[in-house]
Amino acid sequence: MAQNRGNLFILSAPSGAGKSSLINALLAKHADMKVSVSHTTRSPRPGEDNGVHYHFVSVDEFKSLIDKNDFFEWAKVFDNYYGTSKQAIEEQLAAGIDVFLDIDWQGAQQMRKLVDDIETIFILPPSKEELETRLNNRGQDSAEVIAGRMAQAQSESSHYDEYDYVVINDDFDTALTQIETIVLAKRLSLKCQSVRHQSLITDLIK
């Protein structure tokens, strides 16, 4: 059985939709799935480690990486820069690992121009009220910041129709299963199966 190249997925969502929790649960269950560790110029939040959650760099360092064309995509969000490393993703895909990009709609637009074979998933909260509750429950931001994030969430959500799949994160376990189903469907696609089972298929039809 041939080594199948990993698949590339984009996961996008407005802040508070539960994307990070879903990604963490997904990776905890599947050793053959990884999330791309992005570079960012924002400061670490409590519990975040450099090289694990993000590569935290200065603005000057980030701009230097842009000049070197080291990013698949990069964007400025909430006054901070975020970028996706080309080399890290390519190494994981070549090893047969499915890679998830945790990026916004702007990054997704850039990635679609650069990569043909990519599946995109947009995660939505079940309601505005629930989204505001989740943002408040974080206990990390002021009322002013939360109001800004709610406005931004409405703007970000308007790009849902640019994605291949939409998952509503109302019930967490259901949303997680739906994402796993999308990954499984991709692995069972003709393109992937014809590589993974090339010898078997050749033997059956010759």
138-142-148-151 Cα dihedral, nearest 10 degrees: 50
8-36+98-205 sits in which CATH class?
alpha beta
Contact 25, 176 (CB under 8 A): yes
Residue 163, H or E segment: none
Q: What is the DSSP-derived secondary structure letter of residue 45?
A: P
Residue 30, H or E segment: none
| Residues paired with residue 166 on neighbouring β-strands, in sequence order | 122
Q: What is the pLDDT of residue 144?
A: 84
- Domain residue spans of the chain: 8-36+98-205
CA geometry: angle 121, 122, 123, nearest 5 deg: 120
Task: State the residue for tokens 């998933």.
Answer: 121
Q: What is the DSSP string of 97-144?
A: -EEEEE--HHHHHHHHHH-SS-EEEEEE-S-HHHHHHHHHHT--S-HH
Residue % of the chain over a pLDDT of 90: 61
Q: What is the pLDDT of residue 168?
A: 96
Six-digit token pair at 83?
């970028």
Find, among 104, 101, 78, 135, the residue nearest to 23 by Cα: 101
pLDDT band of 3, cuts 50, 70, 90: low
Six-digit token pair at 66?
């842009």
Six-digit token pair at 183?
């990954």
**pLDDT digits 0-9 by tens, 63-104:** 999 999 999 888 888 899 998 888 889 889 999 999 999 889
Q: What is the pLDDT of residue 53?
A: 84
Instruction: Give, rounded to a whole angstrom, the gap between the first and last alpha carbons of the chain.
Output: 17
**d(C-alpha 148, C-alpha 169), whole Å:** 21
Sign for the CA dihedral angle at 170, 176, 177, 178 comes to: positive
Let me know how long the chain is.
206
Q: What is the mean pLDDT of residues 25-36?
A: 94
**d(C-alpha 16, C-alpha 18), whole Å:** 5
